[in-house]
A and B are shown apart, each in its own frame.
Chain A
Amino acid sequence: MAIKTKAGPKKIEISINGKAATVVEGTYLLNAVMDAGYNVPTLCHHKDLTPDGTCRLCLCEVEVNGKKKLVTACNYPVRDQIKVATTTDEIKKHRKNLAEMYLGRWPNVEVIQNIARLCGATDAEKYKSELTDENPKACILCGHCVRACNSFMIQDILGFAGRGIKRHLTMPFGDVDPHCVGCTSCSYVCPTGAIQITDDMNNPVDPELIRSHGMKVNAEMANLDALQNRMREVGTANIVEVMDAYDLLPVHNFKFGKHPDTHKIDSKVMKSKYFTQGAADACWLGCSMACAKAVDDFELKTGPYKGQKVVVDGPEYETAAGGSNMGGFDLDFIVEYNFYCDTYGIDTISFATTMAFVMEAFEAGIITEEYTGGKILNFGAMKETLECLHEMARGDGFGVEVGQGVRRLKEKWVKELGADPGFLQDIGMEVKGLEFSEYVSKESLAQQAGYAMAIKGPQHDEAWLIFIDMVNNQIPSFKDKAEALYYFPLFRIWFGLLGLCKIVWNDVAPADNSKYPPQEAAKIPDHVENYWKFFEGMTGIPVDEDKMLLQAERVFNLQRLMSYYLGYGTRKDDLPPLRAIGPATVEEYLSREERYDRQMKEDMGIDPEARTVEEKLSITRDYRYQQYNKVLDAAYKRRGWDENGIPTVERLKQIGIDIPEVMALLEKPEQ
Chain B
Amino acid sequence: MIVVNNKEKIEWYEGMTVQDVLDKMGYVFPLITVSVNKQLVHKEDYATYEVPDNANINVFHLAHGG
Contact residues of A with B, CB < 8 Å? 1-5, 7-11, 24-25, 227-230, 236, 239, 241-242, 245-246, 316-318, 437, 439, 460-461, 464-468, 471-474, 476, 502-503, 506-507, 509, 513-514, 518, 521-522, 524
Given contacts A507-B64, A522-B62, contact A5 B27 (CB under 8 A): yes
Given contacts A467-B61, A506-B62, A513-B62, contact A3 B26 (CB under 8 A): yes
A and B contact pairs by CB, cutoff 8 A, 21 listed: A1-B26, A3-B23, A3-B28, A5-B22, A7-B46, A7-B47, A8-B45, A229-B31, A318-B66, A437-B66, A461-B66, A464-B63, A464-B65, A464-B66, A471-B27, A471-B59, A506-B63, A506-B64, A509-B62, A514-B40, A521-B60
Chain B 25-66 residues near chain A, CB threshold 8 A: 26-31, 33, 40, 42-48, 58-66
Q: Which residues of A contact B22 (CB under 8 A)?
A: 5
Q: Do A317 and B19 have beta carbons less than 8 Å apart?
A: no
Q: Which residues of A contact B29 (CB under 8 A)?
A: 242, 245-246, 467
Q: Do B26 and A245 have beta carbons less than 8 Å apart?
A: yes
The residue in chain B whose Cβ has the minimal distance to the Cβ of A517 is B60
Q: Which residues of B contact A316 (CB under 8 A)?
A: 66
Q: Do B33 and A514 have beta carbons less than 8 Å apart?
A: yes
Q: How far is the CB of B45 from chain A (nearest CB, A)?
A: 7
State the CA gap A227–B31 with chains docked (Å).
Answer: 9
Q: Which residues of A contact B60 (CB under 8 A)?
A: 472, 474, 514, 518, 521-522
The residue in chain B whose Cβ has the minimal distance to the Cβ of A467 is B61
State the CA gap A521–B33 with chains docked (Å).
Answer: 10
The B interface, classified by DSSP as helix, strand, loop or mixed, is loop
Q: Which residues of B contact A464 (CB under 8 A)?
A: 63-66
**A-B residue pairs, 5 tightest by C-beta:** A464-B65, A8-B43, A467-B61, A514-B33, A7-B47
Q: How far is the CB of A121 from chain B (nearest CB, A)?
A: 39
Q: Do A5 and B28 have beta carbons less than 8 Å apart?
A: yes
Q: How far is the CB of A22 from chain B (nearest CB, A)?
A: 10
Q: Which of B22, B43, B44 has the most CB of A within 10 A?
A: B44
State the CA gap A344–B7 with chains docked (Å).
Answer: 46
Q: Do B47 and A229 have beta carbons less than 8 Å apart?
A: no
The A interface, classified by DSSP as helix, strand, loop or mixed, is loop
Q: Which residues of A contact B31 (CB under 8 A)?
A: 228-229, 509
State the CA gap A471–B33 with chains docked (Å).
Answer: 13
State the CA gap A506–B30 with chains docked (Å).
Answer: 12
Q: Do B23 and A2 have beta carbons less than 8 Å apart?
A: yes
**Set A9, A25, A465: member contacting B63, Cβ < 8 A:** A465
State the CA gap A19–B27 with chains docked (Å).
Answer: 38
Q: Do A5 and B19 have beta carbons less than 8 Å apart?
A: yes
Q: Do B58 and A518 have beta carbons less than 8 Å apart?
A: yes
Q: How extensive is the interface on chain B, given as a class?
A: 20 to 34
Given contacts A3-B28, A10-B44, A242-B28, contact A468 B63 (CB under 8 A): yes
Q: Do A9 and B44 have beta carbons less than 8 Å apart?
A: yes
Q: Which residues of B contact A473 (CB under 8 A)?
A: 5-7
State the CA gap A4–B28 with chains docked (Å).
Answer: 8
State the CA gap A34–B27 with chains docked (Å).
Answer: 34
Q: Which of A25, A466, A514 has the most CB of B within 10 A?
A: A514
Q: Which residues of A contact B26 (CB under 8 A)?
A: 1-3, 5, 245-246
State the CA gap A68–B51 with chains docked (Å).
Answer: 40
Given contacts A2-B23, A5-B23, A509-B31, contact A11 B65 (CB under 8 A): no
Seed contacts A5-B23, A24-B44; 8 additional CB < 8 Å A-B pairs: A8-B45, A229-B64, A239-B64, A437-B66, A506-B64, A514-B33, A518-B60, A522-B60
Q: Which of A472, A503, A522 has the most CB of B within 10 A?
A: A472
State the CA gap A10–B43 with chains docked (Å).
Answer: 9
Q: Do B65 and A522 have beta carbons less than 8 Å apart?
A: no
Q: Do B6 and A476 have beta carbons less than 8 Å apart?
A: yes
Q: How far is the CB of A560 from chain B (nearest CB, A)?
A: 22
Q: Do A8 and B30 have beta carbons less than 8 Å apart?
A: no
Q: Which residues of B contact A227 (CB under 8 A)?
A: 30
State the CA gap A474–B6 with chains docked (Å).
Answer: 9
**Set A5, A25, A468: member contacting B61, Cβ < 8 A:** A468
Q: Which of B6, B24, B30, B62 has the most CB of A within 10 A?
A: B62
**Set B5, B42, B65: member contacting A439, Cβ < 8 A:** B65
Q: Which residues of B contact A509 (CB under 8 A)?
A: 31, 62
The residue in chain A whose Cβ has the minimal distance to the Cβ of B26 is A3
State the CA gap A241–B28 with chains docked (Å).
Answer: 9
Q: How far is the CB of B43 from chain A (nearest CB, A)?
A: 4
Given contacts A3-B26, A5-B28, A473-B6, contact A460 B62 (CB under 8 A): no
Q: How far is the CB of B63 from chain A (nearest CB, A)?
A: 5
Q: Which residues of B contact A11 (CB under 8 A)?
A: 44-45
State the CA gap A448–B40 with chains docked (Å).
Answer: 31
Q: Which residues of A contact B63 (CB under 8 A)?
A: 464-465, 467-468, 506, 522
Q: How far is the CB of A559 from chain B (nearest CB, A)?
A: 20
Q: Do B28 and A460 have beta carbons less than 8 Å apart?
A: no
The residue in chain A whose Cβ has the minimal distance to the Cβ of B40 is A514
State the CA gap A170–B24 with chains docked (Å).
Answer: 54
**Set A1, A2, A467: member contacting B64, Cβ < 8 A:** A467
State the CA gap A316–B65 with chains docked (Å).
Answer: 12
Q: How far is the CB of B66 from chain A (nearest CB, A)?
A: 6
**Set A7, A242, A245: member contacting B19, Cβ < 8 A:** A7
State the CA gap A49–B30 with chains docked (Å).
Answer: 22
Q: Do B5 and A521 have beta carbons less than 8 Å apart?
A: no
Q: Which residues of A contact B33 (CB under 8 A)?
A: 513-514, 518, 521
Q: How far is the CB of B34 from chain A (nearest CB, A)?
A: 9
Q: Do A229 and B44 have beta carbons less than 8 Å apart?
A: no
Q: Do A4 and B44 have beta carbons less than 8 Å apart?
A: no
State the CA gap A476–B62 with chains docked (Å).
Answer: 16
State the CA gap A398–B65 with chains docked (Å).
Answer: 33
Q: How far is the CB of A472 from chain B (nearest CB, A)?
A: 5
State the CA gap A578–B51 with chains docked (Å).
Answer: 40
Q: Which residues of B contact A25 (CB under 8 A)?
A: 44
The residue in chain B whose Cβ has the minimal distance to the Cβ of A439 is B65
The residue in chain B whose Cβ has the minimal distance to the Cβ of A236 is B66
State the CA gap A649–B30 with chains docked (Å).
Answer: 45
**Set A3, A8, A465: member contacting B46, Cβ < 8 A:** A8
Q: Do B5 and A471 have beta carbons less than 8 Å apart?
A: yes
Q: Which residues of A contact B45 (CB under 8 A)?
A: 8, 11
